[in-house]
């Protein structure tokens, strides 16, 4: 790729804003598109996105706009940080304004309802022939805003694109690692949201550290087993996008999915829990789709089954951990090198 002079970020949520601000430190101009005129005006006048990242000062060369054409015009690269429900709609509208040479990078961790397509697959459909990538990892936006040391993964089959993203985003506080397994990295980012809900429930229910360690570890085994069946490299799941993202999402009160699970563990209904958290929890939608797909392809996923039963079939939250104890004993590590 040539030198990147203009970056476009579609979506003014917490992670989109954090990535835009990092890119602004290394790029000439960063345009951030958002729907809300009120939010756009507030950012332009105060240089803060108080709704999503309060107290995080934004650089002067980060320019908010509600004009989709203006945001995309002449962009050298486009990051898409739109929730999965609206991802296809927004990108389908934006693609007419994006230069054909501009790669498309997904920041969204989710699966499309009905098609079971990941966001990068949607981008490939909408922009055929373009370079596509995925940015994923243990990246809580509020910690990025607090200047906490953070690492992420750029996944793309194109090594030049991986290198370009590293140049755009790498700073002293934000390290970018490469991985060619786009599908595996993206699937890991979507799946871990399910298990963060379970982890939040476990904490609210007062379960011990042993129990929580069991849940997280068996979650990783379950994720990688499903991913391999779907065509991903299971070794991707021992990296930042897999175990790294799983640990932080299952352990932090900043995680939206964790917070939803915590409220459910406290006795609130799913609807009440979503309202209390006030943000999109991708794991809720992902759960239904993964349960259906796992049944279809014959992958055993005890945690997914137990959570689905709790949220949609009247099961008790406190029974999830005990149900794991009833699973037929299998091998601890399923992918032993040389085994």
Is 192 annotated as catalytic? yes
User: Which one of 6, 109, 142, 192 is the catalytic residue?
Assistant: 192
Q: How many residues does the chain have?
A: 339
Per-residue burial over 95-116, b = 16 or more CB atoms within 10 Å of its CB, e = otherwise:
bebbeeebbbbbbbbbbbeeee
- Tell me how far the alpha carbon of residue 146 is from its chain's centroid: 19
Alpha-carbon distance of 147 to 53, in angstroms, equals 12
To the nearest 10 degrees (0 to 180), the angle between helices 209-230 and 282-297 is 60
In this structure, what DSSP letter does residue 59 have?
A: P
Residue 278, Ramachandran bin (φ over 0: left; ψ between -120 and 50: alpha; else beta): left
DSSP-assigned states of every residue in 111-132:
B-TTT--BHHHHHHHHSTTS-E
What is the set of active-site residues?
Answer: 192
């Amino acid at each position: 790729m040539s030198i990147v002079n203009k970056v476009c970020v579609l979506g003014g949520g917490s992670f989109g804003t954090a990535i835009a601000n990092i890119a602004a430190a290394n790029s000439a101009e960063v345009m951030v598109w958002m729907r809300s005129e009120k939010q756009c005006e507030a950012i332009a006048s105060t240089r803060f996105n108080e709704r999503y990242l309060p107290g995080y000062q934004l650089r002067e060369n980060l320019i908010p706009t509600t004009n989709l054409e203006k945001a995309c015009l002449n962009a050298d690269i486009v990051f898409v940080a739109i929730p999965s429900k609206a991802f296809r709609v927004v990108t389908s509208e934006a693609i007419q304004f994006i230069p054909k040479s501009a790669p498309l990078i997904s920041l969204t961790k989710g699966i499309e309802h009905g098609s079971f397509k990941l966001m990068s697959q949607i981008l490939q459909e909408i922009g055929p022939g373009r370079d596509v990538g995925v940015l994923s990892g243990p990246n809580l936006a509020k910690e990025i805003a607090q200047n906490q040391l953070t690492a992420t993964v750029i996944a793309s089959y194109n090594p030049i694109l991986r290198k370009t993203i590293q140049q755009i985003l790498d700073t002293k506080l934000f390290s970018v690692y490469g991985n060619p397994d786009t599908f595996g990295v993206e699937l890991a980012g979507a799946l871990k949201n399910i298990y963060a809900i379970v982890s939040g429930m476990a904490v609210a229910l007062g379960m011990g550290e042993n129990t929580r360690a069991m849940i997280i570890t068996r979650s990783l085994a379950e994720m990688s087993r499903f991913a391999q069946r779907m065509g991903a490299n299971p070794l991707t799941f021992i990296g930042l996008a897999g175990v790294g993202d799983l640990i932080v999402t299952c352990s932090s009160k900043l995680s939206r999915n964790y917070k939803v699970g915590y409220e459910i563990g406290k006795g609130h209904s799913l609807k009440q829990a979503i309202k209390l958290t006030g943000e999109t929890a991708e794991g809720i939608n992902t759960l239904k789709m993964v349960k259906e797909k796992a049944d279809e392809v014959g992958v055993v996923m005890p945690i997914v089954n137990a959570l689905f039963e709790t949220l949609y079939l009247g099961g008790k939250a406190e029974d999830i951990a005990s149900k794991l104890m009833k699973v037929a004993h299998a091998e601890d590590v399923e992918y032993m090198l040389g085994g």
